Amino acid sequence: MSLKLVQNAAKCTEKSLYSEKHILLVLTEEQESDLAFGELLNAKLNRMHGEYKDLNKTPLIADLPNSGLASFVILKRDLNMFQRHCLLRKALKPLLDEQPSALAICVFGDEKTREAHACAAYYVATVNAVELPSRKKEVKFKPLKNISIYGYKANHNYQYVNARVAGNSLCRQLTITPPNELTPSIYREKIAGLAKLHGWAHEEFDMPKLKNMGAGAFYAVGQGSQPQDAAIVHLSYTHSSPKKHIAIVGKGICFDTGGHNIKPAKYMQGMHEDMNGSAVALGILLAATEQGLEVKIDCWLAIAQNHIGPMAYKQNDVVTAMNGMTIEIVHTDAEGRMVLADTLTLASRKNPDYILDFATLTGSMISALGDRMSGVISNRPELACKAVGAGIIAGERIVAFPYDDDYESDLDSEIADIKQCTLEGGADHIHAARFLGRFIENDIAWLHTDLSSANRKGGLGAVQTDTNGFGVGFGLEMIKSLLK
């Protein structure tokens, strides 16, 4: 998105503001004596028999004399980032729905408050002004070309916000793409193009190579598809002076039928988005690259489809993973942990300081949290705590779940080293984590993110689309916290 940003340190009362046609006014709890369009706001509030403080909860939209729209919202000091993003999304939606070419943002308060409000509003505006895949015949996207910020002029150019927007947008664009347009072959081509564009090192482990390497867990899932175009893709970004070496791993199931344990239609709908974890990983990699973070990132993408057919793996098969562990197949719809198992082994063999994985992995995490938050599980309690904090900063809420070893007894198998899962239900999100942990070598500190909030009807936090790119902002803040 090509967007011109104009920052103006003058107060939000200057004449140029009154020529703007789409204006967001971000207010503080203290009523401004020289508030732009203050008479208009008060007149509308009086007609509604409301009070000024009502804007703490619900933004107010008012028609401007020049046929434009103004949106007023109050951000209280005690709001966390998620709450700020939600209110700003509500305030901006009526403005952005008109697909304006220009938007004005006015911020009030002391300098620190104005900086925080300007950055948050700029992020919410730009992340919701991105063009996303649509195959509607009549839809014509009109880009937002200019944002003018009144009331705060920073010494930087908001590049760190633009980087996060770029990562979130890439994640959503890939995730929304229809499955016939994002097969593993096509996806791999897109990734190769991204690697060339952004200067990432790039290598692929295709099915023949994985078979020779003994990656039986991944291969079991990929063998059911024709063509057998599944692969583990490895990308690398390295700063000239990296402080840490971090691996990010993403589940990239381009379509999930459930295999022989086939999903009913209700639960197969939307399964082209089962590659969201890999899209989150790519979004984090892009944002970290554009921010120039002082880190080495190895990005590992487990790209496959879970199909049904004569060659598809089935219940009671026993396969051998890359680390030599044998796995008894219990449910073919638990394919995500299979492709991640060998991918995590590859990632851990590079001896990074940390491994962060992202996956739309279990229905039980959705049962536990719903679709408003995502859960993390870690083999280091301090890493899980750090993740909760990173989520608060990013405005993407994270809940930590236990990794206690007694859960793993449920995965005891009479014929193999471990069961893939159980059929009894229960805490499958924890079972999945205990399973994945068995494939990490060298005792690497590892954080698993189960993306239960990857899709929420009506949007979530800053983002107004159902597919919201959750995890990119959190993952970016997580990496930053690990560099301190």
Three-class SS state of 439: coil
In angstroms, what CA-CA distances link 140 with 110, 136, 177, 316? 40, 9, 17, 51
Is 337 assigned a catalytic role? yes
E-state strands within 239-353: 244-256, 295-306, 318-320, 326-328
Q: What are phi and psi of 341, to 5 degrees?
A: -55, -55
Is 21 assigned a catalytic role? no
User: Which of these is catalytic: 172, 188, 337, 386?
Assistant: 337
Confirm if 211 and 231 have CB atoms less than 8 A apart: no
Bridge partner residues of 150 (DSSP): 8, 106
- Report the candidate in 177, 373, 379, 199 with the shortest Cα–Cα distance to residue 278: 177
Give the C-alpha separation, 141 to 124, whole Å: 18
Q: Count Cβ atoms below 10 Å from residue 10 Cβ, excluding itself.
A: 11
User: Which of these is catalytic: 76, 190, 244, 263?
Assistant: 263
Amino acid identity at 195: A
What is the separation of C-alpha 131 from the centre of its chain, rounded to a whole number of angstroms? 17
Confirm if 396 and 471 have CB atoms less than 8 A apart: yes
- Report the candidate in 146, 94, 152, 117 with the shortest Cα–Cα distance to residue 26: 117
Amino acid identity at 60: L
Active site residues: 263, 337
